[in-house]
Structure 1
């Protein structure tokens, strides 16, 4: 017995932030979730699996474009021709989807009820699946506690959309504990909602397959589903299968040994070259470069993200590699000098450093600065507001961290220009 367990497909999930980058592969990203799902269906057919389980969030909220639903129906038709049934559970995003409520599905797709748990018996395979769909997006009830007891003599599979315990990064929908799932007596729990792959062994095999396709830089690394197979003894084996068509990657570059802007650009170029050489797969990469370290180049790098981005793009072009797209360059460097050498100089720069240091505790200055920055904040596009962490501090009136970060950068920059 073999089946595919997938979740969090988020078909046609709208993309945000790409308008900031003229060179972004918008069309490739726009169709990525569909292309990944097409790959999954093709894999299921090639592997001749007995069935497929989708553990929630097939759609992406109240998305009214029926072309998304028609695409899904077409792919289900491919599975129907291959005699592969699909067991679909609605998650929080599906519960608010208009397509979930109105679109008729092909005959090979069975949907778990939302009012109470429902079960599907596959006697020819010795399998029974139990599940309960979300009726409302914000489902805070412990759904697992309502699932039926395990059926003796069959492989019991529980399908559940849940944050499980300890997943603070995800909304705590359908909360339950790992111990509770193990105690249910099922052989396998096909979970959804958490976008990272995770597996726990115990009285039950509990699995999050992760989402099918990374959609932004917070979803890095390979993405896909799991292929589950039962051996002669009934034991279940889980194998990850990757179907993503574009992969997000964080490239951390330590520039502690760099003395100027040019050194930093060359070091990033070398890191990119190493990344390309180490990537044997042909899948395109969307890369965010994180530049860090205590470096003599810190002052020169101040507010130079845009220029550094152009240098990194030039390095990618020189590699002759069309599989790498630069999503962003983020500077997170620090000055080597803590300011002591400047204080010993007793000149204008030393006075400026002391003035900026005192500004962090000057209520009059902080009030005036806050008023100026709030005026600026109201004119900033939403995409930029979400991308700059200090904007939250400005709204909250806490400017200490902002001034503390700018002070060494500004002084080092002026010292270099001296």
Structure 2
């Protein structure tokens, strides 16, 4: 009865670009999260006494010459070797470009699938056959499944594949195939990689994406990890248990502040909602994007006093524990409430709220953002020293236009409000 861990899309030491744009970013924690999570996975494999582990592609993250990443991986594989656990590694689109993939000699317990054709690794004492084909180059757009071997008789057959699979159009279409093609192969289990979200299709052949091991940005929210798989024997259906491994979790919290009458109430509601995130897996630190929405009487004040609002939310986080929470970004998507109309003059609260809403929409306008970037580039071309003297202009020069919306526009609205 084979019992193994299936993981993929580890992206060891993946460079986290743009951290300088984030205020108070825990840069070292973010940079080290992929290693910390992988070490935790190896520890879990040893503790669970699994028979082997499968890495279904994108162990590394492209081509850069820092061999410390590869040496770290060798050390972790050494831990598995001392515990008698082999590892079966398939190269995906990112591994195909990696210098570590081509150059480093790996410990003897590591078996790497060949790239020229499907290769089968047999673990005879367990009666297990693992079939897989690594990527030779990143842009592998052929359907590789057609070249996979027929199932080995009287063995548990496991297919290892890095693929976009049908229905995942948001991912580059590498090694595309369909669920029907995978089922038709007759394997007991398909260990897939490439798609970073967990997905499971039970059936005669159990097909699984474990999801990536560690979220790398707010685009990869929620628990991340691997799966623990048990198969009783040839022809048996796999049992799959999801393992939560991530050491830092990204969250996008959308909070309805319709019931909040003023900025202080919004800050308090934000603190309570952020605290509730830690009710589940409270030991895992959170990096949070907070988006406020709803119709509220505080709408105009939220935009006009955005800096103060952020300070209030950070104060709530400080009370909860800054080592447990980090505010990645605060976004406003509120609207004015539908109370009775008032006449506050040409720059009354409603007018200011409408202006603030318009500016909030503008930040997501790709045409406007490109025009702003071009205008700033021309300005800095005439006075390049300005980017050195003014950090905000340096961020704009680097394409980080959110800084303009986050820092400049709230101040403009506040000036208009004070003049009204």
TM bucket normalised to smaller: 0.7 to 0.9
8 A Cα contact 1:55 1:190, kept in partner: yes
Cα 1:306/1:64, change in 2 over 3 Å:
farther
Q: Is the 8 A contact 1:286 1:324 kept in 2?
A: yes
* DSSP 3-state at the match of 1:124: helix
Asked if 1:234 corresponds to 2:250, the answer is: no
Distance 1:116 1:75, change over 3 A: same
Q: 1:260-279 counterparts in 2 under 5 A?
A: 260-276=262-278, 278-279=279-280
Farther-moved stretch of structure 1 (237-246 vs 306-315):
306-315
**1:82-134 superposed Cα distances (whole Å, 9 cap, x missing partner):** 11111110000000111111111111111111111111111211110110100
Q: State the shift of 1:346 in Å.
A: 11
Alignment-derived partner of residue 252 in structure 2: 250
Q: Which residue of 2 aligns with 1:184?
A: 185
Q: How does 1:91-102 map to 2 (within 5 A)?
A: 91-102=92-103
State the match for 2:64 in structure 1. Answer: 63
Q: How far apart, CA to CA, are the structure 2 residues paired with 1:346 and 1:243?
A: 55
Distance 1:214 1:14 in 2: 13
Q: For residues 370 and 220 of structure 1, do their structure 2 counterparts lie closer, same or farther at Cα, with a shift above 3 Å needed?
A: closer
Superposed CA offset, 1:189-226 (max 9, x none): 00000111100012210000011111111111111111
Structure-2 residue corresponding to 1:382: 398
Question: Are the structure 2 counterparts of residues 251 and 185 from structure 1 closer, same or farther at C-alpha, using a change threshold of 3 Å?
Answer: same
Distance 1:164 1:143 in 2: 11
Residue 17 (structure 1) shift: 2.6
CA distance in 2, matches of 1:327, 1:250: 9
- 2:38 maps to 37
Distance 2:94 2:345 in 1: 61
In 1, Cα distance between the equivalents of 2:193 and 2:370? 43
Secondary structure of 1:302 counterpart? helix
1:389–1:413 Cα change, 3 Å: closer
Question: Residue 101 and residue 127 in structure 1: after superposition, are their counterparts in 2 closer, same or farther (change >3 A)?
Answer: same
Aligned length: 387
8 A contact 2:258–2:293 mirrored in 1? yes
Q: Does 1:137 align with 2:138?
A: yes
Q: Which residue of 1 aligns with 2:261?
A: 259
- 1:368, 1:132 → 2: CA distance? 45
User: Where do 5+ consecutive residues of structure 1 fail to align?
Assistant: 360-366, 391-405
Stretch moving more, 367-376 or 36-45: 367-376
Task: Please state if 1:169 is matched with 2:185.
Answer: no
User: 1:3-402 residue pairs with structure 2 within 5 A?
Assistant: 3-231=4-232, 234-276=236-278, 278-302=279-303, 304-320=305-321, 322-337=323-338, 341=341, 348=346, 374-376=374-376, 380-382=396-398, 384-385=400-401
| Cα contact 2:16–2:31 (8 A) shared by 1 | yes
Maintained 8 Å contact 1:224/1:242: yes
For the aligned residue pairs, the C-alpha RMSD in angstroms reads 3.2
Q: Please say if residues 305 and 414 of structure 2, whose CA atoms lie closer than 8 Å, have aligned partners that are also in contact.
A: no
Gaps of at least 5 residues in structure 2 are: 359-366, 379-392
Separation of aligned partners in 2, 1:347 and 1:114: 71
SS of the residue aligned with 1:165? coil
Separation in structure 2 between the aligned mates of residue 305 and residue 25 of structure 1, nearest angstrom = 22
Length-normalised TM-score, structure 2: 0.83
Equivalents in 2 of 1:172, 1:253: separation in Å?
A: 35
Measure the CA separation in 2 of the matches of 1:322 and 1:371: 39
Distance 1:251 1:368 in 2: 27
SS in 1 for 2:58: coil
Shift of 1:236: 1.6
SS in 2 for 1:31: helix
Change (3 A) 1:123 1:328: same
In the aligned structure 2, how far is the partner of 1:137 from the partner of 1:389? 36
